[in-house]
Chains A and B, each alone.
Chain A
Amino acid sequence: MTPAEAVFQLLIGLSFGLLLFLLASGFTLTFGLARFVNLAHGAVFLVAAYVATSVGGPGWRFVLGVGAAAATGLVLSVVVYALAASRWRVIGERTLVQVLLTFGALLVLADYARSHWDGLPRSLVAPSALDGSWAFAGSAFPVYRLFMMGAALVVAALLWWLQERTSFGALVRAGVDDREMLAALGVSTRRLFAAVFALSGVLAGLAAGLGAPVLGAAMGQEFDILVLALVIVVLGGPGSLAGAFAASLAVGVADAYGKAFLPSFAEFTMMGLVIVVLAWRPAGLFGTAET
């Protein structure tokens, strides 16, 4: 392995890792801040990806596709919240009920996508300005990946700002700890959580739209995405956006080096990383110790 090759693989890994962060951040958000296990996240991604490939097109219509995907994510995620909110006292507090409800929603949404888009895999071609490749280290690196990396970094920065620097972030965290006290202070926790779900949906939609030229849309994604999101949440420490960010990059880079230099073990690299990290820090990279 020459240094140039190593840098090249690092770049591939970082670009994939940032895409992973986009698709896992929404899941982390509801899981960490609202403490709600939203398994429907995978299906929200799937439907948004199909919408992106249908609405999107060449040139400026790409932006339209990404926008439509984000809007789809928002609507679907709010619908899932509305389902949960209808009986929040039962659903909001019990993980098992949440899992049942959201897994059912996942199946319904995925089946809707199958019947509406005939189950065919689809793809979205990146705008021509971003469609080329740059020669690098005797190989070529797709320009679109760099764009995707930039977009994901912007989203990550916005999320950090939202969580750490705004009253919205503070309110959500307060609401998680003591909803009744927060309500007594005159804050509507329902509206707050609806906003968290909406944001989570927008993130899933953005990931689906921005990721469409790389991942496309295909049946089965609803589970693949869910597994990736779970891996990242566990690895990063539940509820920690910074952890999810670090975990996404670690998984992306490990995956790239694994594929490049140990191709026979590529499938194991990601889970191997999880095992090693959890043996070392059972609560995840940025998780707090449990009692």
Chain B
Amino acid sequence: MERTHRKSPSFLRRLAIAVVAASLLAAGIAGCGDDDSDNTVAKSGTPAGEQQGQAASEKTSDHSPIKIGVILSYTGPFGLYGKPMETVLRARLAKAGDEAGGRPIELIFEDDATDANSAVSKATKLVEQDKVAAVVCCVGGAATLAVGPVLAEKKIPQLGPIPNPAGLEKYATAAMAAPTAGHDATELGTYAAKKLGYKTAVVVASDFSYGHEVADGFKKGFTDAGGKVVQDVFAPLGTADFGSYLSRVEDADVAFGGFAGADAIKFVQQYQQFGVKKRMPLIGHGPLVTELVLKAIGDAAQDVGAGFYYSSTLKTPDNTAFLDALKPTPQVIPSHFTAGAWATGSVLIDAINRMKGDVSDGLALAKAIRATNIPAPWGTLKFDTSTGYAEAPTYYYVVKGAGATLHHEIVEEMS
């Protein structure tokens, strides 16, 4: 390559400038959302008594709307979940006539951009400016955990719509409408050893909090039930090529995969392409073959087993009602995200009904939420009243069909 005739401006310097500028831009954009909320953060010192006073004055006008804040992710990595969850939550409330406890319900949606700091700012804004009675939050585990103490301090109930990591037990205001991912993975581990009869297993999971949570859960359930985990491998989030990991996976009776999203698609596809599926079957926590990725994985997903609290093929009455409500919006895919939004709406309506529309006392409302015992798409939804995490059935299902007919086939309830 001839290039002696060229001038030599400093390419690397240009590149360095480019990279630095790009990172600054990215940081600036991420920070944009915080600008307006900085003011609200400054106001967060408002005494709790004043808030309660304002809320109590609402009680006199019994038919004023109850405001509920909803923080979802509309942008960033989890951005795909926000819009469908909003659609379903609105549909659930519309089914109840947009009211509960004799008062209209007003939902205020906010975008946390898949960022825990933004979620905290938005939660503060919802409480301080909008005077919401409760906050539905969030899609990301980090955001949910970050918002927990903020709402606890303000004595405003927090309701998590989807599986979230453990860590909110100490806040009386927090309630999670779905079991933790670790819980379901532990159930699957026990089931794999006791019912499926596997003696040895390898664990391959995503190297971030979700992957470790389900890997640890599975290992605990499996070894406690007498199984032996012979190898565990963690692959970075966003791994493009699992080939090198897969070709080094040791032989065992079964492999447990702890991946979600785009990683789940690539992992399940490459698990077959690199011939590992011929050597041992693949099982995983629900998101590995959730409805959102199943069709994209294609036939490589056939016969993959999963342990999870929800599948759109469940035949419960509330799941049928949920699927019916989705019919006007065919672009919304039924999954545990949208089913969770549906159940969250049900919990809010039920709790406010039991409070007879009096939501002035946040702690009382939080207690009412934890006392919920209602039908959800996956069966009965109730909370462990001491931890605030939902107690739900866990199902084992296997992927059947081919091409467009790929679907979950429920085998049985594991617990």
Stretch at the interface among B8-16, B36-44, B171-179: B8-16
Is there a chain B Cβ closer than 8 Å to A75's Cβ?
A: no
Chain A 90-134: CB-based contact to B (< 8 A → 1; otherwise 0): 000001101110010001000100100011111101000000010
**Given A121-B262, A256-B244, A240:B79 Cβ within 8 A:** no
With contacts A121-B296, A234-B12 taken as known, whether A142 is within 8 angstroms of B80 at the C-beta atoms is no
Choose one: A139, A163, A267; the contact of B247 (CB below 8 Å): A139
> Is B235 part of the contact surface with A, judged by Cβ < 8 Å?
yes
Chain A contacts for B14, CB-based, 8 A: 35, 37, 95
- Cβ–Cβ < 8 Å partners of A114 in chain B: 75, 79-80
Contacts of B234 in A (CB 8 A): 263-264
By a CB distance below 8 angstroms, the chain B residues around A258 are 244
User: Do A230 and B273 have beta carbons less than 8 Å apart?
Assistant: no
Is residue A196 contacting chain B, with contact meaning CB distance below 8 A?
no
* Size of interface on B: residues with Cβ below 8 Å to A: 60
A197 interfacial contact with B, CB 8 Å: no
- CA–CA, A34 and B175, complex, Å: 57
Q: How large is the interface on A (under 10, 10 to 19, 20 to 34, 35 or more residues)?
A: 35 or more
- Measured in the bound complex, the distance between the Cα atoms of B308 and A184 in whole Å is 70
In the complex, per-residue mask of B1-34: 1 if CB is within 8 Å of any chain A CB, else 0: 1111111111111110111011001000100000
B226 interface residue, CB < 8 Å from A? Answer: no
Is the Cβ of B12 less than 8 Å from the Cβ of A100?
no
Q: Indicate whether B223 reaches chain A with its CB closer than 8 angstroms.
A: no
Interface membership of B197, Cβ < 8 A: no
CB of A291 closer than 8 Å to a CB of B = yes
- How far does the Cβ of B415 sit from chain A's closest Cβ, in whole Å? 30
A95 and B18 within 8 A (CB): yes
Q: Is the CB of A230 within 8 A of B235?
A: no
**Min CB gap B12→A, angstroms:** 7
Confirm or deny: A259 has a beta carbon within 8 angstroms of a beta carbon on chain B.
yes
Cα–Cα distance between A139 and B250 once the two chains are bound (Å): 11
Chain B interface, >50% SS class: helix
Contact between chains at B273 and A96 (CB < 8 Å): no
Select from chain B the residue with minimum beta-carbon distance to A1: B248
The reply to whether B12 and A283 contact each other, CB–CB distance below 8 Å, is yes
**Shortest CB distance B72–A (Å):** 13
Q: A99-B18, A256-B243, A260-B248 are in contact. Are A123 and B3 (CB under 8 A)?
A: no
Q: Is A214 an interface residue (CB 8 A)?
A: yes
Q: Give complex CA distance A237, B40 in Å.
A: 49
Asked if A12 and B247 make an inter-chain contact with CB atoms under 8 angstroms apart, the answer reads yes
Is B236 in contact with chain A by the CB < 8 A criterion? yes
Closest Cβ–Cβ distance, residue B302 to chain A (whole Å): 13
Contact flag A259-B235 (CB < 8 Å), given A99-B18, A121-B261 = yes
Q: Is A218 an interface residue (CB 8 A)?
A: yes
Is the CB–CB distance between B274 and A99 below 8 Å?
Answer: no
- Interchain nearest-CB distance for B135 vs A (Å): 24
In the complex, the answer to whether B274 meets A133 with C-beta atoms within 8 Å is yes
**A286: CB under 8 A from chain B?**
yes
Decide yes or no whether B127 CB sits under 8 A from chain A.
no
Instruction: Tell me the bound Cα distance from A218 to B269 in angstroms.
Output: 15
* CB of B77 within 8 Å of the partner chain: yes
Q: Which residue of A has the minimal Cβ distance to B245?
A: A259
**Chain A min CB distance to B260 (Å):** 10
Instruction: Given the known inter-chain contacts A37-B15, A218-B262, A234-B12, please indicate yes or no for A164 contacting B1, CB distance below 8 A.
Output: yes
By a CB distance below 8 angstroms, the chain B residues around A118 are 80, 83-84, 331
The answer to whether B8 and A123 have CB atoms under 8 Å apart is no
* Contact in complex: A216, B236 (CB < 8 Å): no
Interface contact B3-A288, CB-CB below 8 Å: yes
* A242-280 residues at the B interface, CB under 8 angstroms: 242, 255-261, 263-264, 266-267
> Among the listed B1, B21, B25, which residue makes an inter-chain contact with A240, where contact means beta carbons less than 8 Å apart?
B1
Whether A233 sits at the interface, judged by CB under 8 Å, is: yes
Whether the pair B274, A100 counts as a contact (CB closer than 8 A) is no
Evaluate whether A16 and B241 lie within 8 angstroms (CB atoms) in the complex, with A142-B274, A219-B77, A282-B12 already known.
yes
- Given A12-B247, A260-B248, residue A290 in contact with residue B12 (CB < 8 A): yes
Bound form: Cα–Cα A241–B2 in Å: 12
Closest chain A residue, CB of each to CB of B78: A119
| A177-B7 in contact given A233-B15, A266-B236, A282-B12 (Cβ < 8 Å) | yes
Proximity string of chain B (63-76) to chain A, C-beta cutoff 8 Å, 1 when within and 0 when not = 00000000000010
Chain A residues positioned under 8 Å from B12 (CB to CB): 234, 238, 282-283, 287, 290
Tell yes or no: B406 within 8 A of A by CB: no
Chain A residue contacts of B299, Cβ below 8 A: 125
A140 to B48, CA, bound (A): 64
Does B275 touch A at the CB level, under 8 Å? Answer: yes
- B292 interfacial by beta-carbon distance below 8 Å: yes
Instruction: Give me 8 A-to-B residue pairs in the complex whose CB atoms sit less than 8 angstroms apart, sorted by A's number.
Output: A12-B244, A15-B243, A123-B266, A216-B265, A234-B15, A259-B245, A283-B12, A290-B12
Give the 10 A-B residue pairs with the shortest CB-CB distance, closest first: A140-B275, A119-B80, A218-B262, A259-B244, A121-B262, A238-B11, A142-B273, A260-B244, A12-B243, A123-B296
Apart from the given pairs A141-B274, A288-B4, 5 other A-B contacts in the complex at a CB distance below 8 Å: A9-B244, A37-B15, A219-B79, A263-B248, A290-B11
**What is B's interface to A at a CB cutoff of 8 Å?**
1-15, 17-19, 21-22, 25, 29, 75, 77, 79-80, 83-84, 207, 233-236, 238, 240-241, 243-245, 247-248, 261-262, 265-266, 269-270, 273-276, 278, 292-293, 296-299, 331, 333
